[in-house]
Amino acid sequence: MTIKIFSVAEMVAAEKAADASGHSYDQMMEIAGRSVAQAIVDRYDVTGRQIMVLVGPGNNGGDGLVAGRYLAEAGAEVVFYLFKPRDPAGDSNFARIQEMGLFHMNAAYDQRYRALRLRLRTVDIVVDGLLGTGVSRPIEGELAQLMRQVQAGLAERSTPATAEVSRPGLVNPTQLFPDPAGEVPPVVVAIDCPSGLNCDSGELDTLAFPADLTVTFAGAKRGHFRFPGAAACGELLIADIGIDPNLPEVRSVLLDLATADLARSLLPPRPLYGHKGTFGKVLIVAGSERYWGAPLLAGRAAYRVGVGLVAITLPKVVRPVVAAQLPEATYPLVPEPGDLGQATGRQILNYMGEYKALLVGPGLGEDPSLMQALLAGGKYPPLVIDADGLNALAGIAGWQKRLPPETILTPHPGEMARLMDVPLVKLKRQDRVAVAQEKAAEWRKIVVLKGAFTAVAAPDGRCTLIPFANPLLGTAGSGDVLAGVILGLLGQGVAPYEAAVLGAYLHGAAGQVAAAAVGKAGVLAGELADWLPEARRQLRTEPVALTTDEA
């Protein structure tokens, strides 16, 4: 099943279309609230636990009423805190919690929010149902006062004054794990999005309180994957609330979310009768006297993702060092004694047809002559251009028309700015998804715009967002590994757009697996490549966690 990433306007249109087709708002609300409750029950023991549901005035508050009802039925002690009074005569969800005898409070009758603050000192879980996806301006007035009180109450729990008083004056300098003291702050679960998150821009109101878990509906929202808001979502779950994916208003949404199920469906087969020819032969053109490691990282990643044979064209001075560390590869001879240039480029054109895929660029250095020679023409196999290959393209007029339409470009923001000929600071202010889509269509190429939540865009308007934001991937050589992964998948016969999506997902998943084992810092790019087989194995057996948690 494809999961969409909606803008707020697209989500509103999809809900209206679903309601018009007979799947009512009430039905969607019931499923949404039940899904929130189920997510909480699956993660936390709610029996006898105190849960406060913050109920806003709109449908988001209605979802909260439904969720609280199901949590009460699961054995939790639930209290509802209403921002605005609700009339049971016109609100069936409010009427049902009254019928069940569940306790509720109205903010209008809570002088100085004393009851709210008192409850926040003891609750185990806070369910945030104040605001939905419609936030587009700063929060003001009475709602601002309420949210300020919630912020303060949560802050009290996270830094209790009594903790230091009870801590003994003893320090163990060899103890690696901190000794917990005082109270544990309550878990915060956001319905659809943390209140105060702009679900289009990712902007976060200063009054917002971050969630440990966010349960959103029908599809993700763009703001879930744009900072600073993305860091406030915690674990992100997407609940199906029965909106027909074949509705035109859903099908017209061009931004998809990469998931474990999608990645699993794209994995190339590994037949028992397979041999190195079955799994593809690929060529890497990379490296220079300054950059020895890039071709090694790309080649290692291509092998780790399952390709049959890797050939690496690199300068003679580099070859002994790289070959000693990657003896599984072959190393075509080059005509030039130093860095690769026009002569090597012309030679590659003659034997390029021997390979199922070609990667050009990692660590090539600043000389653009090799790329200029390659652009002279030929029958290209599926092609990936990365790093210095992209920098060379930026200086070649008309490069867009001289490469095959499904060439895969893998820029980080700095390389993207050079390709676009705009200042990096200007690029960073733009919506990176929109930039990737626009340039993929303009250049008629597949664009993999790297970074937290990498965007993969095709010339026909399709775009897939990769769900990983992991600081462990922010290390030298990580991009070379990604380029090698995509190359290795192309060599195994995966189509270019699908190889770019699957490659970026596996790269991110390897980072998740590594982080789970060793933490979010200190993994070298070569070690990241070595986690690829485990990521692929886990993908075959269980989903890789989708999270925006930056903790």
Radius of gyration of the chain (CA): 27
**Cα(339)–Cα(365) distance, rounded to whole angstroms?**
8
309 bridge partner residues: 281
Least confident of 123-127, 412-416, 506-510, 545-549: 545-549
**Cα(330)–Cα(168) distance, rounded to whole angstroms?**
63
**Cα(147)–Cα(128) distance, rounded to whole angstroms?**
10
Q: Assess contact for 208 and 142: CB atoms under 8 A.
A: no
**Cα(20)–Cα(376) distance, rounded to whole angstroms?**
56
- Tokens coding 357: 């895929």
Class of residue 343 by CB neighbours under 10 A (exposed 0-12, middle 13-18, buried 19+): middle
pLDDT, tens digit (0-9, with 9 covering 90-100), for 220-244: 999 999 999 999 999 999 999 999 9
Least confident of 375-379, 404-408, 509-513: 375-379
CATH class name, domain 3-163+185-253: alpha beta
**Cα(451)–Cα(466) distance, rounded to whole angstroms?**
10
What is the separation of C-alpha 238 from the centre of its chain, rounded to a whole number of angstroms? 13
pLDDT, tens digit (0-9, with 9 covering 90-100), for 385-403: 999 999 999 999 999 999 9
Say which DSSP state 308 is in.
S
- Tokens coding 147: 């949210």
* CATH superfamily of the domain spanning 263-541: Ribokinase (3.40.1190.20)
Coil, strand or helix at 521: coil
Quote the mean pLDDT of the chain. 92
Beta 50-55 vs 77-82: how paired, if at all? parallel
CA separation, residue 64 to residues 30, 52, 101, 104, 258 (Å): 10, 10, 16, 12, 28
Coil, strand or helix at 359: strand
| Res 547: pLDDT | 46
Say which DSSP state 439 is in.
H
pLDDT, tens digit (0-9, with 9 covering 90-100), for 258-282: 999 999 999 999 999 999 999 999 9
**Cα(543)–Cα(549) distance, rounded to whole angstroms?**
17
For residue 228, cis peptide bond before it (omega within 30 degrees of 0):
yes
**Cα(353)–Cα(270) distance, rounded to whole angstroms?**
24
| Res 184: pLDDT | 63
Q: Assess contact for 202 and 227: CB atoms under 8 A.
A: yes
What is the separation of C-alpha 98 from the centre of its chain, rounded to a whole number of angstroms? 40
- Residue written as tokens 């070690």? 527
pLDDT, tens digit (0-9, with 9 covering 90-100), for 36-67: 999 999 999 999 999 999 999 989 999 999 99
Q: Assess contact for 56 and 127: CB atoms under 8 A.
A: no
Around 337, how many Cα atoms within 13 Å sit in the side-chain half-sphere?
A: 0
Ranges assigned E (strand) in 266-404: 281-285, 309-313, 357-360, 383-385
| Res 159: pLDDT | 64
Looking at residue 491, its amino acid is: G
| Res 546: pLDDT | 47
Domains of the chain, by residue range, sit at 3-163+185-253, 263-541
- Tokens coding 223: 């703001």
| Res 241: pLDDT | 97
Does 15 have pLDDT greater than 80? yes
Q: Assess contact for 32 and 132: CB atoms under 8 A.
A: no
| Res 175: pLDDT | 72
SS3 content of the chain, % helix, strand, coil (to 5): 45, 15, 40
pLDDT, tens digit (0-9, with 9 covering 90-100), for 483-535: 999 999 999 999 999 999 999 999 999 999 999 999 989 999 999 999 999 99
Residue 166's pLDDT band, with cuts at 50, 70 and 90, is very low
Reported pTM: 0.92
| Res 550: pLDDT | 39
**Cα(11)–Cα(15) distance, rounded to whole angstroms?**
6
| Res 170: pLDDT | 72
Say which DSSP state 204 is in.
B
- Residue written as tokens 């965007």? 455
What secondary structure does DSSP assign to 103-164, as a single string?
A: EEEEGGGSGGGHHHHHHHTT-SEEEEES--TT--S---HHHHHHHHHHHHHHHHHHS-HHHH
Around 72, how many Cα atoms within 13 Å sit in the side-chain half-sphere?
A: 20
